Each structure stands twice: as structure tokens, then as C-alpha cells.
């Protein structure tokens, strides 16, 4: 492959894919062939391609993830993020060829995106240069390549910031959920406990929820009502933000 012919030089994309499962926020990570460290899915931008389009393509090609909420959140351009020794190791482990190493040795700035997906709808699948593609809890991250720990940390901070001004949940929860399940999601993202009554008041005040006549069966206590998101109001709130700050 002639990278210089196909891709825009010096520009890459890295995507932090968040999923919510068993009261934990998880990220989807890849481990490249013959390598001992993990990475977020990433790739390059084609010369004739919009960067958002490239991010969607990278998610599909590297981790078989499609149809997600995707948001650009940061440009990583620190000169120290480039590591010639790491590129030499990729060549030594036969992840890339010696001929293509010139492309990888150049300085890259990377556009950071985070994606929100419903955990149950994703079947992790490694690409042709990876041995593994797995969901990993944010509290138990393995050793990561280059600056990917920083990329994940900043993605979480950006997600927490979005939560205060825009709705979160439609892409992380199943179609129907309880108020408690929504609150636990918010608590997990924020890393703090929230008052049950205040949380419910705020969520209902935003107008993004529709209370259903159905209840969650099977619990030991009174069956709680189920909710779904009002897509019209939810999408409008994503576009314009909440009328009041969280």
C-alpha cells in the first residue's frame, strides 16, 4: 500500500468507543498482532475524504462498529506523542513493512473522537492487523500504546462536559429503561452518587423522556415504570443544548 498516495500526510484519527454494561463504563480496545500493548481504534484520513467520514470508516474497518453517535472532542498535537522506537518495533514484529515505515515515522497530529454505542449491539471483531478486540472496563485498563491513556482520559472528560449541557443515554442504554438505570449511567460517567429525587426531577424537566405504561418485571420490589427517549426533543437538545445547565 502506498500510504503517501492514498492518505493525507501527518493526520490521523483515534476513536474512543464507550459502552455501558453491568453498571460499568467500558471502552473497546485493540491489541495488534505480536504486540503486548493495547490501543483505541485508529487510522488515517484519505486525501479525498472528510474527517468525520474518515472516523466512521475507521470504526467500521478497525472494530466492525457502525451506526454510532460520534463526536470530535480534541486535537492531540504534542510533539512528544511521536515515537520512532515504537515504529521500529512495529516493523520488527511485522505489523507493518519496512517499506511503509517512512510513512509512520513522520510526525502525526490526531483528531480524537468518542463514540457512544449500546453494548449489546456490538460484537467485537479484530481487523487484519489485530489479534484481539475487546471491551475493557475503564477501571481496569491494560497498558496502552503511545498517548492512548491520555486520549481515553480526555474523552471521558469531554463526555462528562457534554452531560452537563446535552442529553446522554440514547446510544448507551436499550430502547426501554428505568429511571434508576438512567441514573446509574449518569453516576457511572460522573463517578459520583446522585440524589434520586433531584435526578428524576431534572430528567423529567428536560422533556427528553416519555414514560411508558410498561414496568420492569422480575424484581423483588414494586416493578418500576419504563421510559424511552423522546427522539424529537432529544435530538433538538443535542443540537441546541438544554435550557438549563445540569
Domain extent, residue 177, equals: 166-240
CATH number, domain containing residue 94:
3.90.79.10
Cβ pair 237, 167 in contact under 8 A: yes
Dihedral-angle region of residue 94 (phi above 0 means left; psi in -120 to 50 means alpha; beta otherwise): left
Are 147 and 203 members of one domain? no
CA distance 230 to 226: 13
What is the tens place of the pLDDT at every residue in 144-185? 999 999 999 999 999 999 999 999 999 999 999 999 999 999
| pTM for this prediction | 0.93
- What residue spans of the chain are helical by DSSP H? 3-6, 51-63, 84-92, 101-105, 148-165, 179-190, 196-206, 231-240
Residue 236 domain-assigned (yes or no):
yes
Residue with cell 415504570: 225
- Of all residues in the chain, the percent with pLDDT exceeding 90 is 85
Residue 246 domain-assigned (yes or no):
no
Cell of 37: 500493548
Last residue of a domain, one of 164, 185, 210: 164
Last residue of a domain, one of 132, 164, 196: 164
Are 102 and 172 members of one domain? no
Are 190 and 130 members of one domain? no
Interval 61-83 mean pLDDT: 92
Last residue of a domain, one of 138, 164, 190: 164
Q: How does the average pLDDT of the chain come out, rounded? A: 93
CA distance 104 to 100: 7
Are 79 and 35 members of one domain? yes
Are 12 and 131 members of one domain? yes
Are 27 and 14 members of one domain? yes
Model confidence at 217, in pLDDT bands (50, 70, 90)? confident
**pLDDT number for residue 221:** 67
Residue 245 domain-assigned (yes or no):
no
pLDDT at 127 over 70: yes
The total number of structural domains in the chain stands at 2
Are 20 and 126 members of one domain? yes
What is the tens place of the pLDDT at every residue in 12-40? 999 999 999 999 999 999 999 999 999 99
What is the tens place of the pLDDT at every residue in 141-154? 999 999 999 999 99
pLDDT at 245 over 80: no
Amino acid at each position: 500500500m502506498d500510504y503517501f498516495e492514498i492518505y493525507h500526510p501527518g493526520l490521523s484519527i483515534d476513536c474512543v468507543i464507550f459502552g455501558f454494561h453491568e453498571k460499568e463504563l467500558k471502552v473497546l480496545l485493540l491489541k495488534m498482532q505480536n504486540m503486548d500493548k493495547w490501543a483505541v481504534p485508529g487510522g488515517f484520513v484519505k486525501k479525498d475524504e472528510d474527517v468525520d467520514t474518515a472516523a466512521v470508516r475507521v470504526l467500521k474497518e478497525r472494530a466492525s462498529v457502525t451506526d454510532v453517535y460520534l463526536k470530535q472532542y480534541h486535537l492531540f498535537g504534542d510533539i512528544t506523542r511521536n515515537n520512532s522506537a515504537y515504529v521500529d518495533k512495529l516493523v520488527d514484529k511485522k505489523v507493518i513493512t519496512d517499506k511503509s515505515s517512512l510513512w509512520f515515522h513522520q510526525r502525526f497530529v490526531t483528531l480524537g473522537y468518542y463514540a457512544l454505542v449500546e453494548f449489546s449491539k456490538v460484537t467485537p471483531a479484530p481487523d487484519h492487523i489485530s489479534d484481539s478486540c475487546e471491551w475493557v472496563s475503564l477501571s481496569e485498563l491494560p497498558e496502552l500504546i503511545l498517548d492512548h491513556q491520555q486520549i481515553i482520559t480526555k474523552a471521558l472528560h469531554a463526555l462528562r462536559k457534554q452531560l452537563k449541557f446535552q442529553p446522554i443515554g440514547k446510544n448507551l442504554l436499550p430502547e426501554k429503561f428505568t429511571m434508576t438505570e438512567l441514573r446509574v449511567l449518569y453516576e457511572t460517567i460522573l463517578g459520583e452518587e446522585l440524589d434520586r429525587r433531584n435526578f428524576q426531577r431534572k430528567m423529567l424537566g428536560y422533556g427528553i423522556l416519555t414514560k411508558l405504561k410498561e414496568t420492569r418485571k422480575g424484581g423483588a420490589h414494586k416493578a418500576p415504570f419504563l421510559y424511552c427517549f423522546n427522539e424529537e426533543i432529544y435530538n433538538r437538545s443535542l443540537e441546541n443544548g438544554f435550557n438549563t445547565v445540569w
